[in-house]
Structure 1
């Protein structure tokens, strides 16, 4: 409990700092900070934490479970849409359906999932979270997510741009670099500063989340957002989390996987909503509500698993 409270103080404190800074600073600051983290901060933290990660276990199963969670979330969201149409004889508009499905399937397993995993489980099992995010969530968002967004949106489809976005993603390149860099011996001083740089990037990521939340003002789609979050943050972790032992995933590794499955919707959902003219209000509301809901659901998952 003391560990969890310490995590909450850090999470809430850094997000609140970002929230107030986002209200005071020019709108260009979050954009610049996001670019810095995308190109430098997050890749540096991946290289730093991979040095201490345990790669001896069957961590390749993590992205497979990530894809299962994404598909299950999308399927349950689709069933909800069809059930609502059957029971009420009304249906969401296509852009709303697209944002609804995306919010239920793709989680923020990087900017929020990484710091929560590191704080609650430690660096030894960081590789499980990393594989889940880079080989699971990333391709779920810019693979299946793009296909669904183009299906339900009114914008044009530029698959080349999305393919390029994945191929030049510095997190993927730093993942390979980090695996190679594990074999290189460096001085204790360099090791110390590398680790501190990684934690600094994690802290800045939480500040950035607060900054972006300070710019989210729409709550018009609260009911739809609540349903999509119930699928993403409750049903999917419960259904798949209870079967992890069948995959041979137990103990701290199972805890990491459940934490990643239970993350709120990814910021990629808002990017796709903007790109393909989906329901922006629903995407925005799901993001803000999901971050707040995490503070309630996280202790439950840690207790259950």
Structure 2
């Protein structure tokens, strides 16, 4: 079936990254380099081209409902994870990490290739709107939790709006509202962005493969399974009735639900390191939920 072929491709690309690390072709510091290339160069290029090519001012009222769905599902998962973490008697550092991995989905680094594979460029366009909300939630919640736990003094809003993909998305949407067309820019500029955008998905998959470590899972398989339930059961269950009630386009509904069901993002691991949260719990949850997602996402795709 076509969705299984798509998952095979995704798994294969992830395995290339994983094998490259194990054979010392690439290592951990290379993952950070790849992430920077994606975050600062290729992903902004993808967002700019997709939005300016495919979105008109009249489209925005409907498309802007997508971020709302992701925001609500993220908020609900964060609240429930906090309550569950309290019941499990987690200390503040573990509780902070648990809340982040349970609520923040990997709508970019895994969502883009999965949605592109399942729904093509039309789906990818919608995935970008979902990811903008996820980025906002990630930066807002991650910085808030980190500041609360560590007592660090940072401007949360500055951290949020200076993140390149979100900043690019906002600027591009302003250009859309001003009726700026892609043809306004020089052809060499557009082609250059196109080359960079084409590198986004392969680099994301390589980076994800470099990030996965089975050793991390042994520190918290129990928490990884709970987090997976939040990300791939509770979150899409929250998103489903909302999407049914406020969205009219079937593709919009499908993408919103699929994006809400993505496994834990890698950004919580960054926050765990920066703010001294429970790194082992976060790393294990990221690994377990990502591996399980390769089995669960095709099932969700089939259902919806």
> Shorter-chain TM-score category?
0.7 to 0.9
Q: CA, structure 1 residues 298+8, in 2 after alignment: closer, same or farther (shift >3 Å)? A: same
156, 161, 173: which one aligns with 2:151: 156
**What residue in structure 2 maps to residue 88 of structure 1?**
none
Question: 1:291 Cα deviation (Å)?
Answer: 1.2
Q: Name the residue aligned to 1:75.
A: 79
Corresponding residue for 1:173? 167
Q: 1:144-293 residue pairs with structure 2 within 5 A? A: 144-151=141-148, 153=149, 155-160=150-155, 162-176=156-170, 178-179=172-173, 180=175, 183-185=181-183, 194-195=193-194, 197-214=196-213, 217-293=216-292
**Number of residue pairs aligned between Structure 1 and Structure 2:** 294
Distance (whole Å) between structure 2 residues aligned to residue 276 and residue 201 of structure 1: 28
CA distance in 1 between counterparts of 2:48 and 2:72 reads 27
Hey, what's the Cα distance between the residues in 2 that align with 1:213 and 1:228?
Answer: 16
Question: 1:143–1:276: structure 2 CA closer, same or farther, 3 Å change rule?
Answer: same
User: 2:115 pairs with 114, 117, 139, which one?
Assistant: 117
Task: Report the alpha carbon displacement of residue 104 of structure 1 after superposing the two structures with TM.
Answer: 1.1
In 2, Cα distance between the equivalents of 1:197 and 1:278? 34
Q: Which structure 2 residue ranges, 5 or more long, are not aligned?
A: none
Q: CA deviation at 1:250?
A: 4.2
Deviation at 1:22, TM superposition (A): 2.2
CA apart distance, 1:214: 4.4
Taking structure 2 as the reference length, the TM-score comes to 0.87
Kept in 1: contact 2:66–2:252 (CA 8 A): no
Residue aligning to 2:39: 38
In structure 2, the CA distance between the partners of 1:302 and 1:17, relative to structure 1 (3 Å rule), is same
Q: 1:292 to 1:53 in 2, by over 3 A?
A: farther
Distance 1:178 1:139, change over 3 A: closer
- TM superposition shift of 1:176: 4.4
Which ranges of structure 1 fall in alignment gaps of 5 or more residues? 86-90
| Pair 276,12 (structure 1): closer, same or farther in 2 beyond 3 Å | same
By how many angstroms is 1:118 displaced?
A: 1.4
Residues 47-80 of structure 1: CA deviation (Å, up to 9, x unaligned): 2333443552601111111110111101221232
Q: 1:157 is paired with a residue of what secondary structure?
A: coil
Aligned to 2:63: 59
Per-residue deviation at 1:175?
A: 2.1
CA shift, 1:249, in A, is: 4.3
Separation in structure 2 between the aligned mates of residue 54 and residue 167 of structure 1, nearest angstrom: 22
Please name the residue that 1:128 is paired with. Answer: 126
The Cα of 1:166 is off from its aligned counterpart by 2.5
Hey, what's the Cα distance between the residues in 2 that align with 1:191 and 1:61? 29
Residue 6 of structure 2 is aligned to residue 7 of structure 1: yes
* Contact map agreement 2:46 2:200 (CA 8 A) in 1: yes
Change (3 A) 1:54 1:120: farther
Relative to the length of structure 1, the TM-score reads 0.87
Q: Is the 8 A contact 1:50 1:126 kept in 2?
A: no
Q: For the Cα contact (< 8 Å) 2:41–2:196, is it kept in 1?
A: no
**Does structure 2 conserve the Cα–Cα contact (< 8 Å) formed by 1:219 and 1:281?**
no
1:197-252 per-position Cα deviation (integer Å, ceiling 9, x unaligned): 42321111111111111496352111122112201211120232134211134411
* 1:96 matched residue in structure 2: 94
